[in-house]
């Protein structure tokens, strides 16, 4: 059986058996289910640890080599510029889709929630503490924090909010290498390439466990939540999922067809294995190794472009997150009866786009930024407690769109950076 079929089978069995267990084998009546969920937790956590273990060396080496190859007179300016342009374009379209749908369908109007108890939610209190700590920073500190004082320390704390600083280090160091290394057989390049290839080998070994790990992760999620977890916020979740589908098949599809001259459905079919990993892990960073492999070996994109775009995109391109944030803010405004003016909604669009660029590629990384958005437009921040129950499922959905967007942008950039562009950049580098 092919790998992607094994992954889909693990996913489907996880959903089916998880729902069966939720309704027929509750842990209170069947104590052995605690052991079953613990075994599943072990398998899923062990697999994720293996993936996360090599994300930092993979990200750093891929980004350094990508920037080196592009910076050594082979198109860094064009690739970086087009990557940022497509990222901002797709993120902006995602937020406009979210704002349009939420205003049209009004999922929060007429809802009946006990709003007085939300402020006592422990999860909400924890998120607000993180937001308060961030709010005490002066504006310039955000820019200073982009440059790591100690790259090794940033690497150690990459999944605690330092991953963007680590990426900035890799960008700067990779470009510096392109200025000082003239020999393509330089030992430093061989070391970076060896680390990159070794990281992929570790991932290849972990992939053998993937179908069982995905079954375990999905089983535990569905066993814990059941099918009724959408009941209280079904309209909100429905708008989010509809928005994600429109962004995936309409916006991404149109860009692939019109700009890359590629069949959207053939492209999506080639990426289906990546989508399963993204949905199951709810982490752009954990899916990065699989996305890199797909870009180079399945989509046949130039490695110097795909490595640069995908490693940057794992944290900087969060289309699904930007769309989700737009829906959340307008949904809670409707729940609380806050009438947002056109100017306030445009502010939501702008901030959601920028927040999507800065969101960490790990599960739940968008929640503190959503609270900041709520504060900016005068919506009680404890309202986020309404969506916490369904956030895990929607996190899985929006992560899939985030990763899909990275691959789409890599394809768009590869299709629009021509040989002439690279030659012009090489001539400019030579003159300087």
List, for residues 142-191, the tens digit of each pLDDT value.
678 778 888 888 888 776 657 778 878 888 888 888 888 877 788 998 99
Given this model, what pLDDT does residue 193 score? 85
Q: DSSP readout, 9-49? A: HHHHHHHHHHHHHHHH--TTT-THHHHHHHHHHHHHHHHHH
Given this model, what pLDDT does residue 408 score? 95
Cβ atoms 384, 346 nearer than 8 A: no
Where residue 300 falls among pLDDT bands split at 50, 70, 90?
very high
Given this model, what pLDDT does residue 256 score? 95
User: How far apart (Å, rounded) are the C-alpha atoms in residues 364 and 282?
Assistant: 9
User: How far apart (Å, rounded) are the C-alpha atoms in residues 212 and 210?
Assistant: 5
Lowest-pLDDT range of 227-241, 366-380, 405-419: 366-380
Given this model, what pLDDT does residue 4 score? 67
Q: Give the whole-number percent of the chain exceeding pLDDT 70.
A: 77
Lowest-pLDDT range of 84-98, 134-148, 193-207, 403-417: 134-148
Q: Give the whole-number percent of the chain exceeding pLDDT 90.
A: 18
pLDDT in tens, 189-213: 899 889 988 887 887 788 788 889 8
Highest CATH level, class, for 3-431: mainly alpha
Where residue 135 falls among pLDDT bands split at 50, 70, 90?
low
Mean of the per-residue pLDDT values of the chain: 78
Q: How many CA atoms within 13 Å lie on the side-chain side of 204?
A: 8
């Amino acid at each position: 059986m092919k790998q992607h079929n094994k992954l889909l089978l693990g996913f489907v069995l996880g959903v089916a058996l998880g729902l069966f267990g939720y309704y027929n084998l509750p842990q209170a009546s069947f104590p052995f289910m605690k052991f079953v969920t613990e075994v599943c937790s072990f398998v899923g956590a062990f697999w994720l640890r293996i993936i996360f273990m090599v994300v930092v060396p993979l990200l750093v080496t891929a980004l350094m080599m990508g920037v080196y190859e592009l910076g050594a007179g082979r198109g860094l300016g064009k690739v970086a510029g087009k990557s940022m342009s497509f990222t901002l374009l797709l993120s902006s379209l995602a937020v406009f889709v979210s704002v349009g749908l939420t205003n049209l369908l009004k999922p929060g109007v007429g809802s009946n929630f006990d709003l007085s108890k939300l402020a006592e939610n422990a999860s909400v209190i924890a998120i607000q503490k993180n937001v308060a700590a961030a709010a005490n920073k002066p504006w310039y500190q955000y820019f200073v924090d982009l440059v790591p004082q100690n790259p090794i320390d940033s690497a150690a704390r990459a999944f605690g909010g330092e991953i963007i600083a680590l990426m900035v280090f890799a960008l700067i160091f990779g470009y510096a290498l392109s200025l000082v290394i003239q020999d393509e057989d330089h030992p430093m390049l061989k070391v970076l390439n060896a680390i990159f290839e070794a990281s992929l080998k570790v991932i290849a070994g972990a992939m053998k466990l993937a179908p069982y790990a995905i079954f375990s992760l999905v089983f535990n999620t569905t066993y814990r939540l059941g099918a009724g977890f959408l009941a209280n916020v079904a309209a909100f979740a429905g708008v989010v999922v509809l928005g994600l589908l429109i962004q995936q098949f309409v916006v991404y599809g149109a860009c692939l067809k019109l700009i890359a001259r590629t069949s959207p459905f053939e492209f999506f079919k080639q990426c289906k294995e990546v989508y399963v990993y993204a949905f199951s892990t709810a982490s752009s960073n954990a899916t990065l190794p699989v996305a890199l492999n797909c870009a180079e070996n399945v989509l046949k994109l130039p490695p110097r472009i795909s490595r640069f775009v995908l490693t940057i995109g794992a944290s900087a391109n969060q289309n699904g997150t930007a769309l989700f944030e737009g829906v959340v803010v307008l949904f809670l405004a409707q729940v609380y009866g806050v009438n947002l003016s056109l100017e306030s909604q445009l502010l939501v669009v702008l901030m959601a786009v920028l927040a999507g660029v800065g969101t960490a590629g790990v599960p739940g990384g968008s929640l503190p930024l959503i609270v900041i958005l709520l504060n900016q437009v005068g919506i009680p921040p404890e309202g986020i407690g309404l969506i916490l129950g369904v956030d895990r499922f929607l996190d899985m959905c929006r992560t899939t769109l985030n990763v899909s967007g990275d691959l789409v942008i890599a394809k768009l950039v590869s299709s629009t950076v021509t040989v002439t562009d690279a030659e012009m950049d090489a001539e400019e580098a030579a003159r300087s």
